[in-house]
């Protein structure tokens, strides 16, 4: 397993809608293994393929580090579609490995229903809530080219502009490998 460099704010692939996975080959399995190693090394709880520079509809989740969710099993989500959202929303603090050191409360549906495929391309439908739903929505957004900062108000965006510019230009420090700045 290898640690992959994480794409950061400003990298074009983070704004691109990712491509559907049509087959699972050894390269895809290795990518998923590397994504788990990369996510855990960076102390993350979710990671989308485009966050490691890959244009595929894949994200992984492991919320077992979150208090109260120690028994949660790691998941690989392929070709997801959110098919239901609760009317009730909640706010929770979010951060992102691609936007280090920025954390902010984001409002999202409290519960979602999602269809996806597993590593054998078998289809599943699950309904999730709480932290699990939050992470799923955050990672699903990545596959759509949406970042959590897109939910900020204009005033909040202005407040974080300098930080975002520093991330874009790699004028910050993180404890995990990241991509070089795009020129």
Question: In whole angstroms, how far apart are CA 18 and each of 39, 51, 137?
Answer: 19, 11, 15
Q: How far apart are CA 43 and CA 26, in angstroms?
A: 26
Q: What is the dihedral of CA 109, 113, 118, 121, to 10 degrees?
A: -130
The Cα–Cα gap between 76 and 161 comes to: 33
pLDDT of res. 113: 98
**For 24-33, what is the mean pLDDT?**
97
What DSSP character marks residue 178? Answer: B
pLDDT (0 to 100) of residue 183: 54
Question: What's the whole-number mean pLDDT along residues 159-170?
Answer: 95
In this structure, which topology does domain 12-168 adopt according to CATH? Peptide Deformylase (3.90.45)
Q: What would the pLDDT profile of 31-63 be if each residue is shown by its tens digit?
A: 999 999 999 999 999 999 999 999 999 999 999
Nearest residue to 94 (alpha-carbon basis) of 54, 56, 134:
134
- pLDDT for the residue 80: 98
Catalytic site positions = 139
pTM of the complete model: 0.94
Give the mean pLDDT of the chain. Answer: 95
Tell me what pLDDT residue 180 has.
87
Instruction: Tell me the pLDDT tens digit for each residue of 101-136.
Output: 999 999 999 999 999 999 999 999 999 999 999 999
CB 149 within 8 Å of CB 160: yes
Question: How do strand 58-61 and strand 46-48 relate by DSSP bridges?
Answer: antiparallel
């Amino acid at each position: 397993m290898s640690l992959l460099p994480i794409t950061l704010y400003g990298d074009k692939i983070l704004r691109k809608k990712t491509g559907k996975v049509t087959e699972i080959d050894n390269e895809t399995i290795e990518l998923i293994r590397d994504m788990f190693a990369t996510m855990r090394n960076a102390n993350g709880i979710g990671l989308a393929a485009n966050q490691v520079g890959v244009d595929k509809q894949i994200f992984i989740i492991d919320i077992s580090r979150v208090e109260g969710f120690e028994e949660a099993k790691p998941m690989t989500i392929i070709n997801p579609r959110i098919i239901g959202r609760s009317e009730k929303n909640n706010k929770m603090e979010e951060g992102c490995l691609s936007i280090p050191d920025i954390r902010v409360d984001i409002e999202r549906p409290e519960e979602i229903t999602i269809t996806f495929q597993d590593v054998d391309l078998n289809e599943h439908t699950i309904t999730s809530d709480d932290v699990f739903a939050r992470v799923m929505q955050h990672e699903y957004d990545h596959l759509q080219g949406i970042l959590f900062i897109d939910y900020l108000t204009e005033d909040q965006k202005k407040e974080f502009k300098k930080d975002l510019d520093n991330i874009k230009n790699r004028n910050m420090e993180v404890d995990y490998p990241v991509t070089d700045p795009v020129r």
